[in-house]
Chain A
Amino acid sequence: MLAYIGRNIALRVVLLFIVSVLIHGLIHLAPGEPSAVDPSNPRMKPQDIAKIRAAFHLDDPLYLQYVYWVRDLARGELKSFKDNQPVLGKIWRRFLNSLPLFICSTLIVWTLAFPVGIQAAIRRGAVFDRSSTLVAYALISFPGFFLSYIMILGVVEVFHVPVIGLRTFGMEGATGAFQFMDRVWHLVLPSLLGALGGIAILSRYVRSQMLEVVSQDYVRTAKAKGLHQDVVIYRHALRNALLPFITMFGLLIPGLVGGSVIFETIFAWPGLGLLGYEAILSRDFPVILTLNVFGAMLTLLGTLVSDVLYGVADPRIRLE
């Protein structure tokens, strides 16, 4: 088991290295660089641009730039091009902002998608199955921000749910409990809207997985023993159907970085996605690069966690 984990961590470190080289090359080879953000600015003289390029090592060969990036990152000295703040600190603060949003929407997704998917599978072809299928397709077919705007229009008027930022400004003097509730209140709409697509996709997966398992022989065996329908479904079938979702759990984690760009932009939520968006707008290479690699790292971590969990949950798999 430990050897398995060790070997897999080593493999993932190698993968991460390749990914970082790839992203680094991609970002630096693409035209458009920090000095060219504002070409029409009359105060930008050629010597200024040269100075900027020198300061950011942009004149050095590509592999040297990569080495500089790794060195600075390792020492924790990597600075943003935009405001000279340490990149790691920036990412960490934004990560802490993204985390509650991510956890909330993940919880909403998983608590709703499973009952819906299971019920749809049990009642295959019935009204519930058909309507939940249609709703699921509808939800994944809306452009995310279109649905968000419509919802914002509808919901804000009725429930007075806040839609901007992660807390109300000027509340620093309020009691702890009040501030906490304020934060939760701000989470409601973004996490709900962020979850909709996930509910749709996951419930479809649950449904097809359940259908697959329900037709297995051992489910019939369980019925032949005289077990109650619910015991058959929730004990014998569900446990087998759940196995693949352990893998999905790992693949959810990168959503922390990539999936949230649009929603964080809509709700002015100062999380990782918004940080990335701002960094892209200002060609802030260190932040863009580190964020992409951070996302890849989270994914690799997620797949490792799901591999290990899979080994624990499925007696047929032994990790060696």
Chain B
Amino acid sequence: MNTVNRPVASVDAEKLPPPETPWQEFIRVYKKDRLAVVSSIVLAILVVVGISGKVFTEWVVVFDAEVVRLPDKFLPPLSTPSVDIIPAPDLPQLGVYVFGTDELGRDVFARMLQGSFVSLSIGFVAVGISVVVGILLGGLAGFFGNIQLLKIMTVDTLIMRFTDVMLCIPTFFLILTVVALLPPSIYNIMIVIGLFGWMGTCRFVRAEILALRQQDFVVAAEALGLPKARIIFRHLVPNALAPVLVSTTIGVATAILTESGLSFLGFGVQPPYATWGNILTDGKGFIFDAPWLFVIPGMAIFVVVLAFNIVGEGLREALNPKLRRR
């Protein structure tokens, strides 16, 4: 019974700490998940790497990914260039080939740097497209679902049936088909991956809106005569945002993996763009002679996708009040 005198939080109302804002609560819960915090840092670094990749390989060419140095092909990571043979401007900036060189003597480090921007932008743009489409369609179905179209069906029926149709197409195979038939272009790949990934977002945006509309605070807002736009943006958007954010994070991971899968089958982003997916695919041909060409991009994709997945899961835990209270 020595616990009696220990100061503890009591249930008495006057002793309760001031209620924290949702944001503070989110931060507190999220911080507890150490893995998610580490992953967020990894992703922050990755964004920096991606942007510097764009800057230093294309705008201010510090690391040139396209220099071919045949005397230096297949050098393992951290080897020094053959200073005597290679002309000075073609030598790697850092003095060594940090990630080695490939079959043409190109600096893998520079290629990875360039690829990081392309891979990331594929992930973000594709998911951006699917989130926008998903929110638009889901929002339409949720808010204006009752409107009759030509007296046959409601907006809701139309949109949700269309979603069902899209869901029942084997996605990866159709993406493959379309990407293979379209002229090879990085934008086509982004758009196609994006256009086949919005169904999930659409479904739970609609579900969230329908569920929220039933809830008392929205009914009350409507009863008070608040304008519809205000109800949407003040009450519904913040609530529907959480699941969208989670699926966005995980969607970026999926899009990066899809691109690498397409690359493997030969329909990914075509040269001269380097992406992690096509560096990895090129590397598989030299898996015995130059394993770093395969392992480095593979592990890079793995780490980044893993980080996105863990951050997504961390967000889910921190944003979901039901899970949180347990």
Direct contact of A and B (CB under 8 A): yes
Which residues of chain A from 113 to 146 have any CB-CB distance to chain B below 8 Å in the complex?
Answer: 134, 137-138, 140-146
Chain A residues within an 8 Å CB radius of B129:
none
CB–CB B176/A280 < 8 A? yes
Which listed residue (B170, B180, B280, B306) contacts A146, Cβ 8 A? B280
Complex Cα spacing A280 to B173, Å: 10
Q: Chain A, 218-236, contact with B by CB distance < 8 Å: what is the 0/1 string?
A: 0000000000000000000
Chain A residues within an 8 Å CB radius of B165:
15, 18-19, 22
Chain A residues within an 8 Å CB radius of B284:
145, 149
Which listed residue (B164, B177, B301) contacts A143, Cβ 8 A? B301
Write the nearest CB–CB distance from B97 to chain A, whole angstroms. Answer: 22
Chain B residues within an 8 Å CB radius of A106:
none
CB–CB A292/B169 < 8 A? yes
Chain B residue with minimal CB distance to A215?
B326
Chain B residues within an 8 Å CB radius of A158:
none
Confirm or deny: B123 has a beta carbon within 8 angstroms of a beta carbon on chain A. Answer: no
CB–CB A295/B173 < 8 A? yes
Write the nearest CB–CB distance from B322 to chain A, whole angstroms. Answer: 9
Residues A145 and B313 in contact in the complex (CB < 8 Å), given A258-B172, A292-B169: no
CB–CB A144/B261 < 8 A? yes
Confirm or deny: B199 has a beta carbon within 8 angstroms of a beta carbon on chain A. Answer: no
CB–CB B170/A257 < 8 A? yes
Which residues of chain A from 279 to 320 have any CB-CB distance to chain B below 8 Å in the complex?
Answer: 280-281, 283, 288, 291-292, 295-296, 299-300, 303
CB–CB B261/A140 < 8 A? no
Confirm or deny: B189 has a beta carbon within 8 angstroms of a beta carbon on chain A. Answer: no
Confirm or deny: A277 has a beta carbon within 8 angstroms of a beta carbon on chain B. Answer: yes
Chain B residues within an 8 Å CB radius of A276:
173, 176-177
CB–CB B178/A30 < 8 A? yes
Chain A residues within an 8 Å CB radius of B301:
142-143, 146
Write the nearest CB–CB distance from A15 to chain B, whole angstroms. Answer: 6
Chain B residues within an 8 Å CB radius of A31:
181-183
Chain A residues within an 8 Å CB radius of B298:
142-143, 146, 150
Chain A residue with minimal CB distance to B309?
A137
CB–CB A32/B302 < 8 A? no
Write the nearest CB–CB distance from A138 to chain B, whole angstroms. Answer: 6
Chain A residues within an 8 Å CB radius of B280:
143, 146
Chain A residue with minimal CB distance to B294?
A149
| 15 sampled A-B residue pairs with Cβ under 8 A | A19-B165, A141-B257, A141-B302, A142-B301, A143-B260, A143-B261, A143-B277, A145-B260, A146-B298, A146-B302, A261-B172, A292-B169, A295-B169, A296-B169, A299-B167
| Residue positions of B touching A, CB distance < 8 A | 35, 161, 164-165, 167-174, 176-178, 180-183, 253, 257, 260-261, 264-265, 277, 280, 284, 287, 294, 298, 301-302, 305-306, 309-310, 313, 326
| Residue positions of A touching B, CB distance < 8 A | 15, 18-19, 22-23, 26-27, 30-32, 134, 137-138, 140-146, 149-150, 153, 211, 215, 254-255, 257-259, 261-262, 265, 273, 276-277, 280-281, 283, 288, 291-292, 295-296, 299-300, 303
Extra contacts besides A19-B168, A261-B176, A262-B261 (5): CB < 8 Å = A15-B164, A26-B174, A32-B180, A211-B326, A292-B173
